[in-house]
Amino acid sequence: MAFVNRRVVTIDWGDCDAAGIVFYPRYFAMFDGSTHALLAAALGYRKPAMIARFGIVGVPMVDTRARFLVPSTFGDDVTIESQVTKFGRSSIDLLHRLYREGGVLGIECWETRVWAAPDPSRAGAIKGVPVPAEVRAALGHAQ
């Protein structure tokens, strides 16, 4: 069963546009934070320790899309549920669902990220490397 992480986010004044609703790029920043919160909750340590442990540079995004259903406004407390839906060799597909008060689904966001390490064949470059079995298992996806 896939590991699901939930976190509550309070919508700040700076997240909102002139219409008083969340400016859509701010949601993607919230989902980025939710990806890292998911990994930290599943693995038991935060991003700096994950980078050191696995010799990676991170898990950069390579694709994303979202479906916006109900807007959020200043002061709302929203709950973001995040989980991995699929692993490739070096890719991780995630689903984030943002719920407003009362369990109303406001947004669904899909991401594809890559488990990335330095590429020793090209200075300053990175490349996708296999996602470790330990990470797959922690997120509820055995190899």
The structural domains of the chain, with segments of one domain joined by +, span 4-138
> 84-131: per-residue pLDDT in tens?
999 999 999 999 999 999 999 999 999 999 999 999 999 989 999 999
Output the CA torsion sign for 110, 48, 60, 132: negative
CATH 3.40.640.10 fits domain 4-138: no
What's the pTM? 0.93
pLDDT in tens, 43-72: 999 999 999 999 999 999 999 999 999 999
Name the DSSP letter for residue 119: -
Q: In angstroms, how far is the first alpha carbon of the chain from the final one?
A: 13
